[in-house]
Structure 1
Amino acid sequence: MTATPHYTQFIDGSWVDTDRTFDIIDPANGELVATAARGSVENLDQAVAAAQAAHARGEWRSKTPDERADILSAMVADMSERMDELVALHVKENGVTIRQAMAFHVGYSISHLQYFADLARTYEFERSGPQLSYPTLASGIVRREPIGVVGGIVPWNFPLLLAVWKLGPALAAGNTIVLKPDEKTPLTLLELAKSAERAGLPKGVLNIVTGAGEEVGARLAAHPDVRKIAFTGSTAVGREISKLAAENIKKVTLELGGKGPNIVLADADIASAVDGALFACFLYAGQACESGTRLLLPESLHDEFVDRLVQRAATIKVGDPSEFDTDIGPVISAEQHARILDYIEIGQKEGATLAFGGEPPTGAQFEQGNWVRPTIFTDVTPDMRIAREEIFGPVLSVLKYRTVDDAVAIANDSEYGLSAGVWSEDLEAALDVAARIESGTVWINDWHMVNALYPFGGYKQSGNGRELGPHALDEYTEEKFVHVDLSRSLDRKVYDLVLPAAQAAVDR
């Protein structure tokens, strides 16, 4: 019998075990995939101390940007060689389909890390400012310097990718980092640490502590030696992170919840918009913060659109995520499964019409694991909980609107503002609607197209700051102004605002 793999923490360049463990469970069948060390607050403190010591030694931050980029690129090369291994592991630990893991979860992780390596080579760490003539002749230099120890807290849905979004810019800028993955999905992130080891990343620069969020995550957010915290997760936990970070005025980046409105205009190509709406909501069984979970349809298209929507939804194959023809796999856990089914019941009690799905699939292969069929509600009104609260599952709420102004008002009537979409054959009309939506990302005639070249983040209670894009390193640096006096003469200075003029003459 093959022994169950066991994963340990990565602290100060060493693999650190604990007496207690987490069980990593395959969401598709409930089987044990691996065990992982259950880190403690003491382990977290050790990791922060290691990161602080590494920053103080300066061996990472003193490297040139090109030298740092070379090591990040070496990590990319190692991960690329092991892509099949990482994909298989990712499918097992969080239930994503193999096609999606290859394209997004692992594929994007590798390409985005390379983006940050490339950004390190081109980022403007220092620039000259304008020459000053008043009150004295001077020039200025603006530098962007590493913050120090960065803390990153990573969720279970895209654990490797969202870790890269934090460690990539942090390391490219010359910081050290301590990462806390979700206890359900730490495996691929620990495999990334092996790539960092092989690439020659100095010890203490990257540390990974696999502890519980309410203990280790809270300590990381509050730790006085952590100067920046980057968190992806729910809005409720994000509020707590903000409170803890405020105690010592940390920099904070938060990417939180969403309730993405997907607006179909009356002139939209129906076939494209139908498939796009299903893709927007049901990718990774709806377990993405930027999913399009509110579909807004004009009255003129509603009935035809819903008919086609249901017909196409019926073609989606739910099944074993390791099989290439599977479209949707399980949801992450029994707790999440129960939460989604509760919301489906709530929707029906509130008066919404269950147009499709709403129950687990049937068959022997679904007797174990956490399964929910794609679910579509119609007759949803903006006040219903299924239209306002983040369900984080394969549940699509269809709302009807009369005018474009009504659609925009419904879209913006939310505490969230992470993602949105507009479908139209008239690009100018779509751009006009996009300009009126309160959201960090608006896709026109598409969805889920997150690109490293463009910033990602939310309005309102969907978060603070931005990840990705050409300014991603801004969030991981401090800006310093260095003033250089060019007057070279005491009588050209303004010291006489304090000192008597006679004193200046004596000194000359």
Structure 2
Amino acid sequence: MTSVDIKHFPMRIGGREVDTERRRNVVDPSTGETVATVAHGDAGHVDAAVSAARAAFDSGVWRHRTPQERAAVMRRIVAAANDVADELIELELSANGATVRQATGFHIGYALAHFSYFADLAETYAWQRPAPITTFPALGQAVVHREPIGVVGAIAPWNFPLLLTLWKVGPALAAGNSVVVKPDEHTPLSILAFARIAEENGLPPGVLNVVPGDGPDAGARLASHPDVGKIAFTGSTAVGREIMRLAAGTVKQVTLELGGKGPSIVLDDADLDLAVDGVLYGCFVYSGQVCESGTRALVPAHLYDDFVGRLVTRASTIALGPTRDWDTDMGPVIDAHQQARIVDYIHGAVAEGAAVALGGQAIDQPGYWVTPTILTGVHNSMRIAQEEVFGPVLVVIAYSDDDEAVSIANDSDYGLAASIWSSDNSRSLDLAARIDSGSVWINDAHQINCQVPFGGFKQSGVGRELGPDALDAYTEVKTVHLDLSGGRDSKPYDILLSHADE
């Protein structure tokens, strides 16, 4: 893009475009060039957005619509977004460096399909559930109601900007809430476009607001704001801890989807051709910048050299190139800071005794590129095996038997996702039951299915997103009890008032 192609994106508050003097450049990671500018919000803009969201909620313009009416609007939004899917794909890949294949299938394709799923949930969710009739201490009937929380704050990451934002916005809107989104400052373009599309297709102004800005300012204010009833966050575990601390000040509900260090366990009866491709897919999709990536390959000691050789041969065919080229397999990492951080992790691993079997360096060309990297001789106690690198780095660890494989897999602060590669389903299922992980995929990887819950054990998060119960996290539970006893004589009031005048 040349300078004349650079478009400016205001933030969106209360159904209006709101601009600021302070602007941030949006950079294409594949070239290092500025492709857009965006209004840079601060805590004051968050306050304005929360105020607009609260006003919309209190007016009832969205929450008082029936679930069927909300679902119908959400489906209209999906249809309109599909009509301009190419625009959304371009906004996504130009800001975060995804390849066009990934952006089409995962980043945008999944996002719109999952938003449609949340629309379906609005129609099938149990908004009211009768409890059993009680006879003691008096005859009565209770009904459990699910009601919207109010204003939901959504803080989204840069790796899947629209998809992971809609994992929060979708169930929040389906439940009747208003939302304020704080997108990552690198990648606000697709959600800003989506918010505009949503309002053009029936979402009332103020129900969805988008404030790009820095985490320590705009994000921190959203997490601590007294009029925000829930925070949903996807990002690093370190930032998740801070979000939880800030939310505790007003005892907000939180959903946190945090880091991972996924094990890919290759059993000795695995189809090795399938396992090799599956392990590489599990680690190197989107340059390893996926929280549930399988970045630790656990391999039987007697198969280690053979499997590493197969990995290196196959990974050597991964094509890096222009992100808009359909023949490109892998793109860049997000920015120069992350590029340097990844290379530092690789150098640190080598200093601890690991060996580079493939790659291991940044590429000296415009943009922020790191070669697909495979490290051998890694022990699980090494920093490279314990910390989330968030880059195209696969470590291969040897194990002796199934018990040791489980021990290594679980020896982590994280527990987001794992994969098992085996030709024996029974053995795989037994092993899966022993893995401390929110998802375990057998003979597959990256199986994100909107119909099942997603989230992690341990420091990989709090709560779950997706699945048939996704709206639970965006609703409050209210019990309404109706007395059916018919009079004072049937009440247990004499426990306290037995000597009262008749």
Paired positions, count: 500
Matches within 5 A, 1:165-180: 165-180=167-182
Rounded to whole Å, the distance in 1 between the matches of 2:375 and 2:42 is 43
- The one-letter code of the counterpart of 2:6 is T
Report the equivalent of 1:6. Answer: 8
- AA aligned to 1:258 is G
SS in 2 for 1:301: helix
C-alpha separation in 2, matches of 1:400 and 1:143:
52
* Rounded Cα–Cα distance in structure 2 between residues aligned with 1:72 and 1:15: 21
Percent identity between the two aligned chains: 57
Once the two structures are superposed, residues 127-148 of structure 1 have per-residue CA deviations (whole angstroms, 9 ceiling, x without a partner) of 1110101111111100000011
In structure 2, distance between residues paired with 1:4 and 1:405: 56
Decide whether the 8 Å contact of 2:339 with 2:369 is kept in 1: yes
Shift of 1:367: 1.6
Q: Aligned with 2:341: secondary structure?
A: helix
Deviations 1:203-253 (A, max 9, x none): 111010011111000000000110100000000000000100001100000
What's the counterpart of residue 497 of structure 1? Answer: 495
Q: 1:466 aligns with which of 453, 464, 467?
A: 464
Aligned match for 1:312, one of 314, 324, 337: 314
8 Å Cα contact 2:418/2:440 also seen in 1: yes
Cα deviation digits, residues 57-94 of structure 1 (max 9, x gap) = 11111100000001111110111001111112211110
Aligned to 1:303: 305
* Correspondence for 1:223 among 214, 222, 225: 225
Matches within 5 A, 1:327-406: 327-361=329-363, 367-406=365-404
Structure-2 separation of matches of 1:81 and 1:423: 39
- Provide Cα deviations, 1:252-273, integer angstroms capped at 9, x if missing partner: 0000000001101110000000
TM-score (norm 1): 0.97
Question: In structure 2, how many angstroms separate the alpha carbons of the residues matched to 1:325 and 1:367?
Answer: 19
Partners of 2:20 and 2:86 in 1: CA distance = 29
Residue 383 of structure 1 and its aligned partner are, at CA, apart by 0.8
Contact 2:339 2:362 in 1 (8 A): no
Question: Hey, what's the Cα distance between the residues in 1 that align with 2:499 and 2:83?
Answer: 72
1:132 is aligned to 134
| Runs of 5+ consecutive residues of structure 2 not aligned to the other structure | none
Shift of 1:3: 4.4
Cα separation, 2, equivalents of 1:435 and 1:22: 47
CA distance in 1: counterparts of 2:160 and 2:365, whole angstroms: 26
Per the alignment, residue 441 of structure 1 pairs with: 439
Query: 2:31 is matched with which residue?
Result: 29
**1:117 and 2:119 matched:** yes
Question: Equivalents in 2 of 1:325, 1:501: separation in Å?
Answer: 87
SS at match of 1:136: coil
Matched, 1:294 2:292: no
Q: Counterparts of 2:362 and 2:146 in 1: how far apart (Å)? A: 52
Q: Distance in 2 between matches of 1:429 and 1:209?
A: 49
Are positions 1:481 and 2:479 aligned together? Answer: yes
Unaligned runs of 5+ in 1: none
The aligned counterpart of 1:70 is 72
* CA deviation after TM superposition for structure 1 residue 40, in Å: 1.4
Residue type of the partner of 2:445? Answer: W
Query: Which residue pairs with 2:166 in the alignment?
Result: 164
What's the CA shift for 1:498?
A: 1.8
Q: Which of 275, 282, 285 pairs up with 2:284?
A: 282
1:300: Cα distance to partner? 2.2
CA distance in 1, matches of 2:323, 2:57: 41
Work out which of the residue numbers 447, 451, 454 in structure 2 matches 1:453. Answer: 451
User: How many angstroms apart in 2 are the aligned matches of 1:13 and 1:49?
Assistant: 12
Task: Give the residue type in structure 1 aligned to 2:398.
Answer: K
User: Is 2:188 the counterpart of 1:186?
Assistant: yes
Calculate the TM-score normalised by the size of structure 2: 0.99
> How far apart, in 2, do the equivalents of 1:197 and 1:205 lie?
9
Structure 1 Cα separation of the partners of residues 175 and 117 of structure 2: 13
